[in-house]
Amino acid sequence: MRLDGLITALRNEARRTNERRLVVLAGSREAGIDAAYSLLETADPNDETVSFVTTREGFRYHRLEPHQADQLLGTTREIVVFDCHEGFSATALGQLTGAVDGGGLLVLLVPPLAELPRRLDALVDQLLAPPFDRAAVGNRFRKRLVETLRTHPGVAILTLETAGDGSLTVSVERDGLTHPTEEHLLESRPPPIRTDTPFPAAAFEACLTADQARTVAGLSVLSAPGHAVVVEADRGRGKTSAAGLAAGALAADGSEVLVTAPTFENTRPLFVRAETLLEELNALADNSEPRCLRTAGGGRIRFCRPPEAADHAGSVDVAIVDEAAAIPVAVLSRFLEAPSVAFCTTVHGYEGTGRGFAVRFRQRLAASDNSVAEIELHEPIRYARGDPLESWLFRTLLLDARPPVEQLIETASLETTVYRQISQPELADDEQLFRSVVGLLVAAHYRTEPTDILRLLDGPNIAIRALEYEGRIVAVAVLVREGGLEASLRASMYEGQRVRGNMLPDVLTSQLRDETAAEPVGYRVMRIATHQAVRSQGLGSQLLEECHTEFADRIDWFGVGFGATPPLVDFWAKNGYRTVHLSITANDRSGEHSALMLRACSAAGQALVTRHTAWFGERISPMLSDVLSELDAAVVRAAIRAAGSPEADGVDLSAREWRVVAGVGYGPGTYEAAPQVFRTLAMAQLSSGAVGLSDRQERLLVRKILQGEPWASVAAGLEFVSPRQCMREMGAIARAFCEQWGPTVVQTERERYE
């Protein structure tokens, strides 16, 4: 079959079924580009609906660099041509696939398939991690890509060869035609107009599927307080647009609607659909405020990033949280303060997914006072259900991977699980094992991206360990080897060069100015996840302990970096990790400050840990009165305790300083007369826990003494009746310090006041 005849047949079949097809042009880059132009001439699309994604320049069509692929999310294209020869990434592949409309084509320009596992150098670049070289990077993902291209329905493979005279020869390895039955050619019915909701008919007339109309109707309950609606869908089902129609209807009726998501780009379709509906209703008012829509009836739709939006949730009528799976549970919980709230989440996202929302937040939602409704969207907006391009992408990138079903592992325990080493070849050869591992990671609170699949299969610095119960994975840890770098590279890192794959040594060297930090070798725990059915039974700690035992005599340290919350800091501290760093800025998406923690395995590792915990102790107090003055006191308390030594048995204060402390505890003295003395005592207590203070008393030490917060706000934040009562509590703390650590002079002062 000729190229033009095959492309015509593929386009006709795709249009009749409202599905998409994948065309692989395998050969040299120049031959691929020539063939792509011939394909476009035959397909005859509207030029404005074609995108060429390539590092090359000089195309008459819309062009993007591969790293800009996310710009096509939320757009529709008849044909996307992806030049994979340079700049290829698994994440870009997913994002571009999502932009192709029903009846359209995704065209991949690739090397000859027999050579592809040794090509696509960009994938190697993404996984390079010194001291490993390029030869250490695997090619299992590239082999997987070739296998799925050759076996999945709806994929046409054309082999390209350029003759000596420059002419192009095209051979058809697979035609990609699926020969659909009449059932696949049925047109979907238009969405119904709902009359059983307070929303206007125009909101339903704007829906593209019955699924979307049902979702908008379900969201109409937000008109009244006391409701929480959960909307779940795969990418491309129109959930964000449905939320936009609901937001427009609510704002038209005068409601204040607060919208949040990890980035504003996530919500752009929401604002577009809301604005269009408000214009249709003649309800849109003039407005110059960015990322905001105002209505003639006094309503408003505005966007804020998650941490800021959570602060305002209780002061609006409705909150809409989009991409909820990408927002930490602690932040999500604060949106329950809104009178009514919707949580929209992507189940399988092209650019990454996380199931912390479904697994952990649902429990908090169920325990709230809200009436909870759940909605799932199944019908794609832009192409037919069962689209072969979507199923190929899910298969290739494991977007639909799930952990073992609960019933099969719910009786697992510490005594019945077995520690298992999982090699990368095993992972590549055992699809069920691969899906179980990825499913557990996705089901945890991590945001797992397509590039992570590549890293699991081919990263030269990756080790995968698991706990297994009756042949099924119940807990998994992904470890990344870091450090062991040459002196010249360590010097470059110290001078500011970023070194891929060495996150902990990089921070310790470049930010904390320790040029020797990248010399010891360690493993960073990049991911750890336990099946939700057997959480809180100690399986995560057991898995870590098994890892510690296996690697202890081969490395210098174990480490971890994560968004700091008190439970997470406590978990790592209980497993022997000590705090060495808190980031000075919060993550824009999570609102959390990153914590770095280390556990020593050798003398060199112990020297590294001792050095950095000491430096952390020296710098954290002044940081808390400056760049970390607003950091949550519970996080501060947990981090300092995890860095300190429980063996601390006293503090070095002069007799005069102890008289000041005794004066606050037993006499008329005030903390303000000697704040530095109390800073010393506070750090000693938070590091050691030697004095039996309550949780609230230690948070009082953080907020007042270390962060310098005014008495009034400290009292309000810690729920004291008044600032005076809060001050009296400081006196009780001073007395406790005197009783635990005070010398003879304290007793003399106490007797004087008594």
- The Cα–Cα gap between 354 and 527 comes to 13
**Residue % of the chain over a pLDDT of 90:** 78
Of the pLDDT bands very low, low, confident and very high (cuts 50, 70, 90), residue 351 is low
Residue 581 scores a pLDDT above 90: yes
Q: Which is nearest to 509 in space by CA: 529, 533, 528, 483?
A: 483
The reply to whether 435 and 335 lie within a common domain is no
- The Cα–Cα gap between 234 and 191 comes to 19
Domain end position, chosen among 622, 644, 666: 644
For residue 407, the domain's CATH number is 3.40.630.30
The reply to whether 268 and 371 lie within a common domain is yes
Q: Which is nearest to 695 in space by CA: 746, 636, 652, 754?
A: 636
Decide if 444 is inside a domain. Answer: yes
Question: Would you mind telling me the total number of residues written for the chain in this entry?
Answer: 754
The reply to whether 431 and 540 lie within a common domain is yes
Residue 189 scores a pLDDT above 90: no
Domain end position, chosen among 153, 184, 215: 184
722: number of Cβ within 10 Å:
12
**Residue % of the chain over a pLDDT of 70:** 95
Positive or negative CA dihedral for 112, 114, 118, 123? positive
Q: pTM value?
A: 0.87
Decide if 190 is inside a domain. Answer: no
The pLDDT assigned to 645 comes to 66
The pLDDT assigned to 349 comes to 62
Q: Which is nearest to 160 in space by CA: 37, 78, 53?
A: 37
Return the structure tokens found at 89: 């990434």
The pLDDT assigned to 348 comes to 66
Residue 649 scores a pLDDT above 90: no
The reply to whether 32 and 169 lie within a common domain is yes
CB-based contacts of 442, cutoff 8 Å, min separation 6:
353, 354, 355, 401, 402, 448
Provide mean pLDDT across the span 239-260: 96
Question: Structural domain of residue 296, as residue ranges?
Answer: 201-377
Residue 289 scores a pLDDT above 70: yes
The pLDDT assigned to 214 comes to 93
The pLDDT assigned to 495 comes to 94
- The Cα–Cα gap between 392 and 132 comes to 32
- The Cα–Cα gap between 503 and 483 comes to 9
In degrees, to the nearest 5, what angle opens at C-alpha 412 toward C-alphas 407 and 417?
A: 135
Of the pLDDT bands very low, low, confident and very high (cuts 50, 70, 90), residue 703 is very high
Residue 590 scores a pLDDT above 80: no
Number of domains in the chain: 5
CB-based contacts of 120, cutoff 8 Å, min separation 6:
84, 85, 88, 110, 111, 142
Return the structure tokens found at 485: 């770098």
Contact 257, 250 (CB under 8 A): yes
The reply to whether 364 and 237 lie within a common domain is yes
Tens of pLDDT, residues 527-540: 999 998 998 999 99
Domain end position, chosen among 377, 410, 445: 377
Contact 424, 138 (CB under 8 A): yes
Q: Which is nearest to 84 in space by CA: 126, 49, 120?
A: 120
The reply to whether 291 and 143 lie within a common domain is no
CB-based contacts of 443, cutoff 8 Å, min separation 6:
355, 358, 359, 402, 403, 529, 531, 532
- The Cα–Cα gap between 375 and 744 comes to 69
- The residue ranges of DSSP E strands in 120-255, in sequence order, are 155-162, 168-175, 227-233
- The residue ranges of DSSP E strands in 90-248, in sequence order, are 100-110, 155-162, 168-175, 227-233
Mean pLDDT (the chain) is 92
Decide if 640 is inside a domain. Answer: yes
Decide if 123 is inside a domain. Answer: yes
What are the angstrom distances between the C-alpha of 344 and each of 263, 357, 375, 408?
14, 10, 9, 30
Residue 176 scores a pLDDT above 80: yes
Residue 273 scores a pLDDT above 60: yes
Of the pLDDT bands very low, low, confident and very high (cuts 50, 70, 90), residue 40 is very high
Strand partners, 656: none
Strand partners, 708: none
Decide if 624 is inside a domain. Answer: yes
Residue 653 scores a pLDDT above 70: yes
Tens of pLDDT, residues 429-485: 999 999 999 999 988 765 678 889 999 999 999 999 999 999 999 999 999 999 999
The reply to whether 549 and 691 lie within a common domain is no
The pLDDT assigned to 449 comes to 83
Of the pLDDT bands very low, low, confident and very high (cuts 50, 70, 90), residue 69 is very high
The pLDDT assigned to 599 comes to 98
Residue 350 scores a pLDDT above 60: no
Decide if 354 is inside a domain. Answer: yes
Helical ranges in 253-398 per DSSP H: 264-280, 306-312, 329-334, 356, 362-367, 388-397
The pLDDT assigned to 117 comes to 97
In terms of average pLDDT, the best of 163-177, 286-300, 546-560 is: 546-560
418 sits in which H/E element = strand 418-422
The reply to whether 691 and 638 lie within a common domain is no
The reply to whether 48 and 140 lie within a common domain is yes
Provide mean pLDDT across the span 127-138: 96
The pLDDT assigned to 140 comes to 98
The reply to whether 230 and 268 lie within a common domain is yes
Tens of pLDDT, residues 303-331: 999 999 999 999 999 999 998 877 877 88
The reply to whether 639 and 690 lie within a common domain is no
The pLDDT assigned to 492 comes to 95
Using only C-alpha atoms, what is the Rg of the chain? 30
For residue 324, the domain's CATH number is 3.40.50.300
3-state secondary structure of 121: helix
The pLDDT assigned to 754 comes to 80
Decide if 507 is inside a domain. Answer: no
Decide if 180 is inside a domain. Answer: yes
For residue 164, the domain's CATH number is 3.40.50.11040
The reply to whether 52 and 149 lie within a common domain is yes
